[in-house]
Amino acid sequence: GEGQAAEMVLRDMASTRDEWPNQEERLESVISAYMESGSYGDGHRLLMEAQRTFQVKLDEEAHMNLINMCMEDTSHMHEGQSSSQIMALLETRVRMCLGAIDELRYTHASTHDKSMVTKLAISVAARGGDWQRSYDELMVLREIDDDDEEEDSDWRRAMAMQTVYIQVMGVLNVNREFRKLVEVFRMMEADGLDPNGTSYGLAISAACRSYSKNYDKVKEAEGILLEAHELRDELYPPLDSRAYQALIGAYDKLDDFEAVQRIIYLAKDAGVLDDRCLETGVLLCARMKRLHDATKLLKLTTEIGLTPSITSYNAVIGCAEKQGKMRSVVPLIEEMETLGINTNAVTYNIAMRSCARQDDWEKAWELLDEMLDEGLTPTVHSFTTMISACGATNNAEQALVFLDEMDRLSIAPDIVAYNAVLKVCLEDHPREVLEVLRRMRRAGLEADKTTTWAMYKVKENHEEALSGAELEEIEKFISATKRPSFNKKSFGSRQSYDRKGGDRDRN
């Protein structure tokens, strides 16, 4: 294993005899010593020097041994090194191997096994992440005539070619060359090779990712999936859930719920349906306001022995709240508790806002107490959502109570929370608007466009109800701020705000 010492002896013999005695045999021994000790660079250097300078020709087997040894897994030799160092070593070794392959083709141009060497080049390039070299070598391999091989080895050749195609598809996938990957998959089929679960999965995923907004191409990817789905019992390795996930994700981007639902049930039929597929479907249903379908998918999740994520439940609860279906919200929270899913502040925010929209303040307070009992800390947004919902019922008194409760819990209202209270009080409670403004200024918050707009509206609509001192206070506030430009898009009418049921600044 002392490659350096062996090389010194070999060079000493060469210098005294003016030649390299027993050149090939002893050169191979020295190179092997370097390889065994992990000195791949020295082994490659010696090979290049011997072949180019001394016209020594290693036989094909020695070349192949050098290449294979260089690419053996030597991760145990790099303990303590960073991933970047290991990648740099791998890149160096790949470059050496590809150089050795080119040298083999040069020195044994007429005799080397073209098919075997090309397959090796593909394997080495793919391992090193060189997709272009892998792809180019595949094109070379497809042109090589292997008709001289024995007929009983046809199945072996097919298996080897299938492996080669998967290697090329894998490196294309890593380098995000998705369209090339689909092209290689089609070549594989054109060459009469039967794809397996891995190649089907790579092709489906690549087709979805490269044409994610092209409905026809995504439909083509579904065609590949259906073909693989029909052959699922014959595929080895089998098609896994990632292919179904990729297609579900592509249809999700196209907002095609029917297609998402179709693929979900295909995955269920194949026995690979997982929580990620279902979560994507639930979120799409919620986004498209399909509460019934979202609830069905939640139920399907539990039926197949999986537990829905809190993200899924929050999306469905939010969907129910936006549609004003309060009766669906509380049972969903209770279902979460039954399944042992820990609710979070987002869950309660949605539920409390739903109660506020329904003017069910008793339930809203009950949920707030429950939230505190579970050790969850209400956020500014928790209260802002309920304050904003007070506008739907014109309940200024309740909005002010929520503002006081924030003080009691040492939760500092932000400008959005104060503006939400101002909007609720604006129509019938001008003096409360002024009091909220004072509290906001004492908190050191700077007024924004919405605050200034509220002051203008108070002066415009309630001038007779306010005292001279109060009007003067408003005038001072207005003069201290730049007059905003109002438009329907920025503020809208009160009716528009109530219909939205939320705070525009936050939205």
**What does 426-455 look like in DSSP terms, one character per residue?**
TTT-HHHHHHHHHHHHHTTPPP-HHHHHHH
Would you list the DSSP string of 54-92?
Answer: S-----HHHHHHHHHHHTS--GGGGTT--HHHHHHHHHH
Question: Which helix (H) or strand (E) covers residue 404, if one does?
Answer: helix 396-408
Q: How far is CA 273 from CA 245, 276, 351, in A?
A: 9, 8, 30
* Nearest alpha carbon to residue 235 among 181, 275, 197: 197
Q: Is the pLDDT of residue 111 over 50?
A: yes
Q: Which CATH class is domain 1-70+89-111?
A: mainly alpha
From the list 470, 402, 480, 400, the residue with the least C-alpha distance to 431 is: 470
Tell me the residue type at 473: E
| pLDDT computed for residue 149 by the predictor | 52
Residue corresponding to tokens 């994610």: 212
CB 96 within 8 A of CB 41: yes
pLDDT reported for residue 494: 40
What is the rounded average pLDDT of the residues 400-425?
93
Do residues 204 and 225 touch, judged by C-beta distance below 8 A?
A: yes
pLDDT of residue 225: 96
Reported confidence tier of residue 145, pLDDT bands at 50, 70, 90: confident
Structure tokens at 295: 């609830």
Contacts of 503 by beta carbon, 8 Å cutoff, 6+ apart: 384, 388, 416, 419, 420, 423
pLDDT digits (tens, 9 = 90+) for 377-391: 888 988 888 888 888
Residue 428 or 50, more confident: 428
- Ranking 19-23, 99-103, 476-480 by mean pLDDT, the lowest is 19-23
* % of the chain at pLDDT higher than 90: 45
State the CB neighbour count (10 A cutoff) for residue 234.
Answer: 11
Whether 275 and 303 have beta carbons less than 8 Å apart is answered as no
How far is it, in rounded angstroms, from Cα 251 to Cα 214? Answer: 10
Cβ contact 202:169 at 8 Å: yes
Instruction: Tell me the C-alpha distance between 319 and 297, whole Å.
Output: 14
- Distance, in Å, from the CA atom of 395 to the CA atom of 380, rounded to the nearest integer, reads 19
